[in-house]
């Protein structure tokens, strides 16, 4: 799993460029190791590519930089 896999799942430039995906949606879709996923999400937040938000009371992420 790479950072680009996370970004591609969260956003679709043509259909929904500002989509928000919950942590569980990302984890389920990518079938990823939870520890590795958390590391990549933290790294993407630190570089200000992702922003953490909330969707239906759950932690969620949105791409803010392309």
DSSP letter for 65, please: -
Domains located in the chain, CATH noted = 3-63 (1.10.10)
pLDDT of the residue at 18: 80
pLDDT of the residue at 11: 84
pLDDT of the residue at 57: 92
pLDDT of the residue at 23: 94
Tell me the whole-structure pTM to 2 decimals: 0.84
Report yes or no: 62 and 19 within 8 Å, Cβ to Cβ: yes
Per residue in 30-62, pLDDT tens? 998 999 999 999 999 999 999 999 999 999 999
Rg (CA), the chain: 11
Q: How far, rounded to the nearest angstrom, does the alpha carbon of residue 48 sit from its chain's CA centroid?
A: 12
Average pLDDT of the residues of the chain: 89
């Amino acid at each position: 799993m790479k950072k680009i896999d996370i970004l591609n799942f969260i956003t679709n430039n043509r259909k929904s460029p500002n989509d928000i995906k919950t942590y569980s949606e990302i984890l389920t879709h990518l079938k990823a190791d939870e520890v590795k996923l958390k590391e990549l999400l933290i790294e993407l937040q630190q570089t200000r590519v992702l922003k953490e938000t909330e969707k239906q009371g759950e932690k969620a992420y949105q791409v803010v930089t392309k």
